[in-house]
Amino acid sequence: MAETADGDGRADMTGTAEAARPRPPSARWFTRRGPLAAAICAALLAAGLGTAKATSTGPFAAEPRYCWGAWGHDTNPSLFGGSENQDRTWTVTEDELTAGQPHGSCTVVVEAGYDDEVSRNRENVNTVRKTVTRTLTVAVGPAPADPDDLVEWIAGTVGSDSAALPDGLPGLAHDTGGLLALPEECAADGRPVYAALTIGPLEGHAGTIRSGGLERVGRMLLEVGRQMMTELGCAPAEPWVITSPWSQLPEEEEPASDTADVCRIPGLRFVFGSAASHSGHRVGPVTQEFQSCSVRTGREPAGPALELMMLGQPWLTAAFAETADAPSSRDWRGSGWVEESSAVVLTECGGRPVVLFMRGEPRAAVVGRDTIGSFAIFSQAVTHRVGCDPVAPTAEVES
């Protein structure tokens, strides 16, 4: 059941943000026009489509709250490009969360209209009304069991441009999403449960408008995670909060080069050639529990052609527990799989589990190195840095 809000305010506003087991969603329609709201709600009730309610802050507050009360219109204004956008409409689909059943999702679609001046010449300037749309989705539940779904889940919520949440909180965030592990008390049949946030692109806008930075996205993730814990009845006695500054942030993208090591990984080189001017690579945080590298080739499609990550956080490696039942192919040390489009190797490093992760696309091969060879070189460098035995077979590294 969808919930919608119409607003004509000029303040910066944000929407709020996968798939849940079927549960009856709560039907909530939000509007700033009282009589219209009453009429809509009455129609919903008459149709038997659920109960209508609005969650607000303060005794006379009119602003609605979304996704179990976690977010409001002003949560993250940068998501929609600033105050130029007006006439926003929020469409929200929210599942009910029940204690002991940690499965559900909330999706927010925000449409924002703005006036754009189109000039044919200096004397002829027309104003055109345009609409931009952005979708945010947050889901609670265990990690996907299907290997392909698991790869996309990690790439979308963790990503190679992530940074760890401060204060030892079990989560990672980046510009367009994040992943937060909920307390053990929230577990589903012994499996860890996560809050997974994804933020879609701004559709209908010619330029690039960012989401306000990973710090803001991280706070959004934590806010909705806290509400999930409350709804599920597994909130800790002391609420999780961010009080320390962010550290170990990803670096800015570096331009492509045929003569330099990609992401400063010894031996990891590509032949970008004519695509060099539209290509680049980005180094993520480098710690004992996380390291990442992304490579972008050419103008289209958007996003990295190759993502490489080392994941060592216990709360995150637990998501890959089921891969322990699948011995890795191609003589890699560990369990999982190694293929051209993706690779997951769960191994041991100094007595603790570590996951080596790769997601690649065919266009990565046009720059002179296959994805498996790149993954092997990255894995060798990472395991050497953190003091582990080699994981990748020598033949793959030297290929």
362's CB contacts (< 8 A; 6+ apart) are: none
Phi, psi of 178 (to 5 degrees): 180, 170
Phi, psi of 390 (to 5 degrees): -55, 145
Return d(Cα 51, Cα 244) in angstroms, integer: 40
Question: pLDDT digit string (tens) for 319-333?
Answer: 998 776 666 667 899
Among residues 84, 82, 247, 224, the alpha carbon closest in space to that of 157 is found at 224
Question: pLDDT digit string (tens) for 349-397?
Answer: 988 999 999 998 766 555 556 889 999 999 999 999 999 999 998 877 7
Name the band, by pLDDT with cuts 50, 70 and 90, for residue 259.
confident
Name the band, by pLDDT with cuts 50, 70 and 90, for residue 72.
confident
pTM of the shown model: 0.77
Return d(Cα 108, Cα 13) in angstroms, integer: 13
Q: Please tell me the predicted confidence (pLDDT) of residue 84.
A: 46
Three-state secondary-structure class, residue 349: strand
The residue written with tokens 């709201």 in the block is 37
Q: Please tell me the predicted confidence (pLDDT) of residue 124.
A: 65
Name the band, by pLDDT with cuts 50, 70 and 90, for residue 291.
very high
> Span 224-250, mean pLDDT?
93
Return d(Cα 334, Cα 133) in angstroms, integer: 43
Between 104 and 88, where is the model more confident?
A: 104
Task: Return the bridge partners of 353, or none.
Answer: 348
Three-state secondary-structure class, residue 343: strand
Return d(Cα 357, Cα 9) in angstroms, integer: 45
Percentage with pLDDT > 90 across the chain: 40
Three-state secondary-structure class, residue 54: coil
Q: Please tell me the predicted confidence (pLDDT) of residue 117.
A: 64
